[in-house]
Amino acid sequence: MTSTRTKKSRGVTKAVAKGGSSAKAPRQPTLAHRAEYYTMRATIAALRALSWNAACKIGEKLGALGYRPLGIRKRVVEKQIAAAFPNLDHDAVRKLARESYAHLGRTFIETALLDSLGRDGLQQLVETVEGWEEVDDVMSKGKGAVLVTGHIGNWELAGAYVAARGVPLDAIARGMANPLFDAYVNRARAEMGMTIVHDSDAVKRTPRSLRAGRAVAFVADQGVLGLASTFVPFFGRPAKTPRGAAVFALRFDVPVIFVVALRQPNGRFRIVVERIEARRTGNMDRDVDAIVAAFTEHLEKWVRVVPAQYFWQHRRWRRQPPDTPPELRDPSA
C-alpha cells in the first residue's frame, strides 16, 4: 500500500484537521443562483406530478445527454473506465460510460424526489437488506458508529435509509455551489431524518455526535474540507482518500460500517452493510491507513459488481504521490 499523509496524527484534531477549520458564513445567492434554483424547482415540481418510475426514466434520459451530445467530462469518464477495466474494448468502454451518465441523471432525480416518498415509502423502495444486524449490534452499545460509503449507487438514499430505520445519523456533506439549492437539498435530507453537518464543521461536530451515541456518515472517496488524506490503491492506482472517518473511529473506539445502496434492474434497491474491523498495532498512522485501505477495497469490490453506478465523472486519481510510476498515474491527465 502506498501511503503519504497530508498531516501526521497527533491527537484527533491534528490527525484530521489541516490547520484550523471553521464554518463558513452563509453565501449570498447571486442572480444566476436564483435563476438556476427556480428553474430547478419548477422542473422538480413538474416531475412530482409523474409517477416515480416515469420521473426516474426522464432523469436517465437527461443524464445520457451529458454524454452525448453535450460531452460533459466525456473523455475523463472514458479514460478512467478504461484504466479501471483494461480488458474492455473501446465499444464496451463507451457503452459503460453512457450507462454511467444515465445512472447519474436518475440518481439526481431520485435524490430530488426522495422526500416525496416519506420514510415508509423509502423503505418500500428497498428490495433487500444484507447485514443490517451489524448496525443494530453497534448502535445497541450506545457508543455511536462511523458509517462510510462512496459515490456508488445512490449514496444519498443509503444515508436516508439508515436514518429512516431510526438510527440517529449525522451526515458530513460538502456545500453545493448554489446556496439556495444547497439549503433545499439539506431540508429534504432533514425530512428523511438526517442531520447535516457541513464538512468545515466535521472536526468540531463529529466528536460530540459520537459521544452522544450517534452514527456519523462520511462519503469517503473524495476530499473533505478540513480533513487530512492518505494515498491508498483504488483499481491499482494510488488515490487520495480522506482519512478522517478512520481517525475518528480509532480515537473514539467505535466501529466502522460500510454501507451501499445499489440499484437493481427493476429500479428498487439492494442495501448492503459490511463491518470493517479495526486492528490496533500501537501505530496510529498505520492503523488509520489500514482502515482507509479496507473501506476503499470494499468500494472497489462493489464498483466491479455495478461499474455503471460509480461516479466516474470525478477525477478519482487527480491527486497522487509525486513518485507515482508513469503507468499508474492519473489516466485522465
243-252 pLDDT, tens digit each:
999 999 999 9
pLDDT, residue 25, reads: 56
pLDDT, residue 243, reads: 93
Instruction: Assign 3-class secondary structure to 298-316.
Output: HHHHHHHHCHHHECCCCCC
| Distance (Å, whole) CA 105 – CA 86 | 26
Q: Which residues contact 155 (CB under 8 A, 6 or more apart)?
A: 149, 219, 260, 261
Short-list 162, 65, 161, CA closest to 114: 161
pLDDT, residue 187, reads: 87
Contact criterion met (CB below 8 Å) for 85 and 307:
yes
Residue 62, Cβ density class (10 Å: 0-12 exposed, 13-18 middle, ≥19 buried): middle
Inter-axis angle of helices 179-191 and 155-164, to 10 degrees?
40
Residue type, 226: G
Q: Which residues contact 300 (CB under 8 A, 6 or more apart)?
A: 234, 235
C-alpha cell at 30: 447571486
Contact criterion met (CB below 8 Å) for 275 and 134:
yes
What size, in residues, is the chain?
A: 333
246-296 pLDDT, tens digit each:
999 999 999 999 999 999 999 999 999 999 988 889 899 999 999 999 999
pLDDT, residue 226, reads: 54
Beta pairing partners, 250: none
C-alpha cell at 21: 477549520
Give average pLDDT by consecutive 10-residue segment, the chain, 333 residues.
42 44 64 92 93 96 95 97 98 98 96 91 96 96 95 96 95 87 87 88 94 95 74 96 94 95 97 92 94 97 98 95 96 92
Task: Give the strand order in the sheet containing 194-198.
Answer: 126-130, 269-276, 256-263, 145-149, 215-219, 169-173, 194-198
DSSP assigned state of 275: E
